[in-house]
């Protein structure tokens, strides 16, 4: 939106005649200001058309000096009224205006200054209305595109294509990992986007939008979706600068694309939650065998050679990060996050995925079939916990000979009797059992066990004193610790 000196000169009713500074006729006029003071520049901000009769500028050189000052403030031009103080526009003003490229137009005596101001105001209003009309039309086109096309990623290709058309440029939508979700035209996905501090901050979620100008055009970038980093980025480019209409169009597209990505993200999260709950039920043997086999086949898994991997707590990754690691490894596996935070992997061949987690302590079960997954889950958790104590990255259940012995005795009733006799005095107090297990895992170190549990060592000492009283056993005895350790491992393994 801009009104130029050329437009004002072209209005027949005003009768304005350009006499000098023709090179600046395409400059934008932001306002009309009338003044008769020798130096009006303190009250100007740039872009004004100054209207004057020159009644107070009759001395030689004063008009030339006024022209120089106005050019220095970025004025749009001078409207000089004849028939008041001067019959025609003085030559000194014309010559100086030509030097600065500052337009000077003759205002006939019959043209009121207010008529020029009204024309400017009317034209600005007309342009604003036209811009609003175009914006509404563009918004309708974007909405129509959103309703008539879609995509599983949430980055509506129709919206992206329509936006590129409206901008007479190109657009690319990236996800948070930098992968292209949609582009228009298709070749835009190969466009080299120049690195800049603003783009880096946009990708990091520090800012919501940015704009840069380069040798190959102008770019604007916007964050899509809610949250600290959103769900993606929209980068748009065109050969000419973005004006208010273009920014309004991009803003509408950002809203539509952001909504689409949020909806797709919410749907994906819901699908992940449903899948997670199903995997958790499988790991607890809570799914009927035929249904479980069918679901595992849908996931591309063989139901007779399944392995469960567990990550020792606390883990440095969450379930979403673990899914991304599995996807990068190329392994066919599903992830489960139990309500307590314990993370599991279920698959046939998990080693390539586990190798991507070098900073974790992992436990891997023996092969198991549907109906044996609860035992495999317990195997994996115990292996992870034991491996953490040994500082091992991956601990396999078949490497733990004591666990093998307990597995072989799980059908023997004497093992149940052993567990009951050792642990029954503690009752169902899980706090005492957890404290006792941490104490034994820490080889009797009060300080290390308390740190692992996140409690003060005096609190731990009080708990273990209570446990010792209930058990009526001396926890300093190596044999007592062996019995308790076997009983706890058997209890956790067999449930």
Give the integer Cα–Cα distance in Å for 260 and 182.
Answer: 12
Angle between helices 157-167 and 113-148 (to 10 degrees): 150
Closest alpha carbon to 378 in 246, 493, 228: 493
Give the integer Cα–Cα distance in Å for 393 and 362.
Answer: 6
Q: Which residues, at least 6 apart from 421, have a Cβ–Cβ distance to it below 8 Å?
A: none
pLDDT tens, position by position, 29-59:
999 999 999 999 999 999 999 999 999 998 9
CATH class of the domain comprising 5-121? alpha beta
Pairing of strands 77-81, 343-347: unpaired
CATH topology of domain 413-494: Arc Repressor Mutant, subunit A (1.10.10)
Model confidence at 150, pLDDT cuts 50, 70, 90, reads low
pLDDT tens, position by position, 94-148:
999 999 999 999 999 999 999 999 999 999 999 888 888 888 888 888 888 888 8
Task: Provide, rounded to the nearest whole percent, the portion of the chain with pLDDT above 70.
Answer: 97
pLDDT tens, position by position, 379-423:
999 899 888 888 888 899 988 888 888 878 877 788 888 888 888
Model confidence at 73, pLDDT cuts 50, 70, 90, reads very high
Give the integer Cα–Cα distance in Å for 307 and 289.
Answer: 17
Residue 124: its pLDDT value, please? Answer: 92
- Tokens 């044999």 locate to 479
CATH topology of domain 149-264: Beta-Lactamase (3.30.450)
- Structural domain spans, the chain: 5-121, 149-264, 284-399, 413-494
CATH architecture entry for 284-399? 2-Layer Sandwich (3.30)
Q: Between 336 and 228, whose confidence is greater?
A: 336
pLDDT tens, position by position, 234-271:
999 999 999 888 898 999 999 999 888 888 888 888 88
Give the integer Cα–Cα distance in Å for 121 and 115.
Answer: 10
Give the integer Cα–Cα distance in Å for 48 and 78.
Answer: 9
């Amino acid at each position: 939106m801009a009104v130029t000196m050329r437009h004002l000169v072209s209005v027949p009713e005003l009768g304005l005649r350009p006499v000098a500074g023709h090179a600046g006729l395409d400059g934008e006029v932001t306002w009309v200001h009338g003044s008769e003071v020798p130096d009006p520049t303190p009250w100007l901000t740039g872009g004004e058309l100054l209207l004057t009769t020159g009644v107070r500028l009759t001395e030689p050189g004063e008009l030339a000096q006024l022209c120089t000052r106005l050019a220095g403030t970025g004025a749009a031009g001078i409207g000089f009224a004849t028939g008041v103080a001067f019959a025609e526009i003085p030559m000194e003003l014309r010559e100086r205006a030509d030097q600065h490229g500052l337009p000077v137009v003759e205002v006939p005596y019959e043209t009121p200054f207010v008529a020029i101001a009204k024309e400017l105001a009317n034209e600005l209003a007309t342009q604003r209305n036209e811009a609003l009309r175009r914006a509404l039309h563009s918004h309708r086109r974007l909405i129509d595109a959103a309703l008539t096309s879609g995509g599983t990623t949430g980055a509506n290709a129709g919206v992206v294509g329509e936006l590129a058309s409206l901008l007479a440029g190109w657009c690319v939508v990236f996800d948070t990992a930098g992968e292209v979700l949609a582009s228009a035209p298709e070749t835009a996905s190969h466009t080299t986007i120049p690195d800049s501090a603003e783009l880096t901050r946009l990708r990091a979620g520090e800012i919501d939008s940015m704009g840069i100008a380069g040798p190959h055009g102008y770019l604007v970038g916007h964050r899509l979706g809610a949250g600290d980093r959103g769900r993606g980025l929209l980068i748009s480019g065109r050969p000419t600068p973005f004006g208010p209409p273009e920014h309004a169009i991009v803003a509408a597209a950002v809203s539509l694309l952001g909504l689409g990505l949020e909806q797709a993200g919410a749907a994906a999260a819901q699908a992940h939650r449903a899948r997670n709950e199903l995997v958790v039920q499988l790991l607890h043997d809570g799914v009927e065998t035929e249904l479980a086999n069918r679901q595992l086949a849908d996931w591309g898994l063989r139901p007779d050679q399944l392995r469960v991997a567990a990550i020792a707590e606390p883990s440095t990754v969450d379930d979403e990060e673990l899914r991304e690691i599995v996807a990068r490894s190329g392994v066919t596996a599903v992830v489960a996050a139990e309500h307590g935070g314990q993370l599991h992997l279920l698959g046939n061949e998990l080693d390539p995925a586990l190798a991507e987690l070098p900073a974790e302590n992992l436990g891997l079960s023996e092969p198991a079939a549907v109906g044996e997954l609860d035992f495999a889950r317990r195997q994996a958790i115990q292996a992870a916990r034991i491996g953490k104590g040994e500082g091992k990255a991956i601990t396999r259940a078949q490497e733990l000979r004591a666990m093998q012995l307990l597995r072989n005795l799980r059908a023997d009733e004497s093992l149940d009797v052993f567990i009951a006799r050792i642990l029954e005095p503690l009752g169902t107090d899980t706090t005492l059992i957890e404290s006792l297990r941490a104490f034994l895992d820490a080889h009797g170190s009060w300080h290390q066990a308390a740190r692992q549990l996140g409690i003060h060592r005096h609190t731990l000492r009080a708990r273990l004193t209570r446990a010792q009283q209930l058990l009526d056993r001396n926890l300093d005895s190596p044999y007592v610790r062996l019995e308790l350790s076997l009983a706890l491992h058997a209890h956790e393994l067999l449930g």
